[in-house]
Structures are given as C-alpha cells and as structure tokens.
Amino acid sequence: MVTSSNKTKQNYGPDPVSVRATDQYRAEYVHAFVQKWDSLIDWDARIESEGSFFIDKLRERGTRQVLDVATGTGFHSVRLLEAGFEVVSADGSAEMLARAFSNARSRGHLLRTVQADWRWLNRDVHQKFDAIICLGNSFTHLFSENDRRKALAEFYAALRHNGILVLDQRNYDALLDHGFSSKHIYYYCGNDVSVKPVHVDDGLARFEYRFSDNDVYHLNMFPLRNSYTTRLMREVGFQRIETFGDFQETRRENDPDFFVHIAEKA
Ligand code: SAM
C-alpha cells in the first residue's frame, strides 16, 4: 500500500539485509523510484538490446492474447500492443500500474490494467491466455518457496491448454558462485544509473541503484539459481522448458547476465 509517508523514501528499517519478505515489493517501488524507473530502463535502448526476441517467440507459437503479470512501467505491454497482440497488464503495485497507464497513454494506447498479486492472480484475472510474460527479473521478488510455487501454479492455471510462460531472471549463479566484484556493476540501458550488488548470500541479493543526481534506491531480491527455477516450473506442471541466455537462441559459452525461460504448459 502506498501512503504519503512512503511516496519518496524506501524504508528497510535498521537492518536492511534482514528484510526478506515477498510483500516488501510494494514498499520498494515508492513513487519517486517508479518515476525514475524509466531512465533506468531507457525504452529505446531496451528495444535495441532485446530486438524482436519476445515478439518472435510469441508469434512462432501463434500467440494472440498475452497477460503481462509484471507490467512495471509498461515497456513490454506497450511493445506487444504495438506488435498487434491483445494484452492485459497486471501488477501488484498500484504505483507501477499508474505509471504504465500514463506511459501507454502518451503513446496512444489504452492499457487494460488489473492490480493483482501473483499469489492470488486468478482471483482478479478471469480470462485464459495464450502466453504469460513475467519479465525484467521480477520473479526474484518472491521470498519463500511456497510463494514461488503458488505464483507458478496461478500462472499455469491462467494459461490455455497449449499456453506458454515466458519468465526471465538475472544470472544469480554467477553472482553466488563467484562473488561480486566491479565486473558485476550493471549499467542499465539508461545512462544515468549504475546498479551493483551490495550484499549477496544464499537467501538475499541486495542491489543498489545509484542515479546521476545521487539519488539511491535499493531492491532486496531472492537469488534464484537457474536450475532451481526450472525445477519448480516442472514440479508445478510445465512440460517443456527452454532456456536462453541474453536473448540468444542458444546459451552463450560465457555467463550471460540474464536467462529467459520459455515453459510450455502442454
Ligand atoms: N517487467 C517490468 C520491466 O521489465 O521493466 C517491471 C520489472 S520490476 C523489476 C518487477 C515488477 O514486478 C514490479 O512492477 C512489481 O510491482 C511486480 N511484482 C513483484 N512482486 C509481485 C507480486 N507478488 N505480485 C504482482 N506483482 C509483483
């Protein structure tokens, strides 16, 4: 819930690395951070780096209707609308959805938005989809295995019988296995922000987002191992899972920064 007191400041209390709760995401995306999110993920540069990877993958499977469960500020929802897909845009954060709606509006689109937490997705979304996308390293916000299983089961249930789930994640294996160093300072597509891990253990990756005006925000995330995510998907019922590294057709030899999993329901 966003209140006037948490509009500008994140509040992790006296011991930020002890904050490991799924519900934290709403408090993390405070108004001021959401306003800055689009400079973090400069839309034009992101289009350039992703290319048509997601659009191609969806078209290959004859997808028409897509549910974006982690809409954020609307980047993928708008791209898919512009590519001709029917899109419903969901997110658990009202702040994010408001920003997505106005971003889409300024590009001449009316987003169909639903505020929904993944753990109870089908309570708020009453339609079945050909594809669900959960992108931008969003699944990492879930802090208990129970919540991860619940969310995946809700995604599974919201898909048509031959539907697909497209879910990406940061390559946490590299971070967990080799520790973090300056090599892990990520410069997002937006030029005016640097992103680096400030704490990593088996249960938490805490990242710092430093903007050029010296505004600093953090996100506490669960470091998902690649094989763990795909195991959970299988256990929930997904039949075939293909994993890509950094939007490439095959996994790159050297460690990619991100993995994209495409999981088939049937
Ligand atoms: N997909 C967007 C992008 O790539 O720019 C946004 C990514 S942002 C890192 C993660 C998004 O997931 C946020 O908008 C957040 O509100 C949403 N989110 C996190 N946990 C959620 C949950 N349990 N239910 C619904 N939305 C959630």
d(CA 189, CA 201): 26
Q: In what order do the strands lie in the sheet with 65-68?
A: 113-115, 86-91, 65-68, 129-134, 159-170, 258-264, 240-245
Predicted pLDDT at 94:
92
Predicted pLDDT at 7:
61
Helix (H) or strand (E) segment spanning residue 219: strand 216-221
- Splitting the chain (266 residues) into consecutive groups of 10 residues, what average pLDDT does each group show? 55 90 84 77 82 96 97 96 98 94 96 98 97 96 97 98 96 86 51 82 92 87 97 98 81 73 96
Predicted pLDDT at 145:
97
Predicted pLDDT at 250:
55
ipTM: 0.99
* Mutational pocket test of ligand 1: of 91, 97, 222, the residue with most ligand atoms within 8 Å of the beta carbon: 91
Instruction: Give the position, in ligand 1's atom list, of the atom nearest the Cα of 75.
Output: 5
Predicted pLDDT at 241:
97
Predicted pLDDT at 33:
80
Long-range contacts of 82-90 (CB under 8 A, 24+ apart): 82/107, 82/109, 83/55, 85/58, 87/111, 87/112, 88/112, 88/113, 88/114, 88/125, 88/127, 88/129, 89/113, 89/114, 90/114, 90/115, 90/116, 90/121, 90/124, 90/125
Q: pTM for this one?
A: 0.92
Predicted pLDDT at 9:
82
229-248 exposure pattern, b = at least 16 Cβ within 10 A, e = fewer: bbebbeebebeebebbbbbe
Distance (Å) from CA 25 to ligand 1 centroid: 8
- Conformation bin of residue 205: beta by default, left when phi > 0, alpha when psi is -120 to 50: beta
Distance of CA 37 to the CA centre of its chain: 13
Ligand 1, CB within 6 Å, residue ranges: 22, 25, 29, 41, 70, 72, 75, 91-93, 96, 117-118, 135-138, 141
Distance (Å) from CA 138 to ligand 1 centroid: 5
Strand partners, 245: 259
